Amino acid sequence: MLAVLTGPVRSGKSSAGLALARATGLPLVVAVAGSEEDEEMRRRIQRHRNDRPAGAAVVDASLADWRSEVPEDACLLVDCLGSMIGGHLWRLVPDYAEVVGVDVERAAQRHCDEIVGWVVAREAPTVVVTNEVGWGVVPPTPLGRLFRDVMGRANRALVEAADVAWLVVAGTCVDIKELNREVTWPSR
């Protein structure tokens, strides 16, 4: 079973994702990505650590072989896909880059597709927390635009493959798998 929770920052996605994962009753593995490069980020990471249940295994999803550390019979909580993808893109694209080449775009998309494909193929319960990006202005940097594009495609693929999916806004979960998928002209 695949469950996806998407939405803006601080909307309650992580709490809802953790509740879903715990409800499976299976051993829990939390895949995280984040770098403790400054004090503020260290505090954010510590808050997430404090919220995890005792006994939950944690894997660093910034490592190339992180998926091999996830037992096939455990519930996997990915928290969050945006951090995973963002960290990978940060390594691919220097922050001073004025242009992102097609080869980098392809490499970024391949990496993301590989993660999404693996998550979708898992047989054990998997909960993915992800960021819904691109609701604002076009990012002013090549890295920001690449992140927006790759995440948008990843979220579409995940929600399409998911058994359940919610948009989490202001602590409220909206079941987006139950909403209309097609646009139709209104009849009067």
Q: Residues 4-59: pLDDT tens digits?
A: 999 998 899 999 999 999 999 999 999 988 766 778 877 777 776 777 778 888 88
Report which of 32, 65, 26 is spatially closest to residue 49, judged by C-alpha positions: 32
If residue 14 lies in a helix (H) or strand (E), which one and from where to where?
Answer: helix 13-23
Q: Tell me if 146 is assigned to some domain.
A: yes
Question: 43 lies in which domain range?
Answer: 2-175
pTM: 0.90
Q: Tell me if 151 is assigned to some domain.
A: yes
Q: Tell me if 184 is assigned to some domain.
A: no
State residue 112's pLDDT score: 93
Cα–Cα dist 69/49, whole Å = 18
Q: Tell me if 188 is assigned to some domain.
A: no
> Strand order of the sheet with strand 57-60?
57-60, 28-32, 75-79, 126-131, 2-7, 164-169, 172-175
Q: For residue 74, give the DSSP letter.
A: S
State residue 173's pLDDT score: 96
State residue 22's pLDDT score: 95
State residue 187's pLDDT score: 84
State residue 61's pLDDT score: 84
What CATH number is given to the structural domain containing 156?
Answer: 3.40.50.300
Domain count along the chain: 1
What single letter denotes the amino acid at residue 146? L
Consecutive sets of 10 residues in the chain, 188 residues long: mean pLDDT of each?
95 94 95 78 73 83 86 95 90 80 92 95 97 90 92 96 97 93 83
Q: Tell me if 187 is assigned to some domain.
A: no
The tokens describing 55, both together, are 């006994």
Catalytic annotation, pick one of 22, 48, 145, 153: 48
Q: Tell me if 181 is assigned to some domain.
A: no
Q: Tell me if 186 is assigned to some domain.
A: no
State residue 71's pLDDT score: 94
Is 48 an active-site residue?
Answer: yes
Q: Tell me if 135 is assigned to some domain.
A: yes
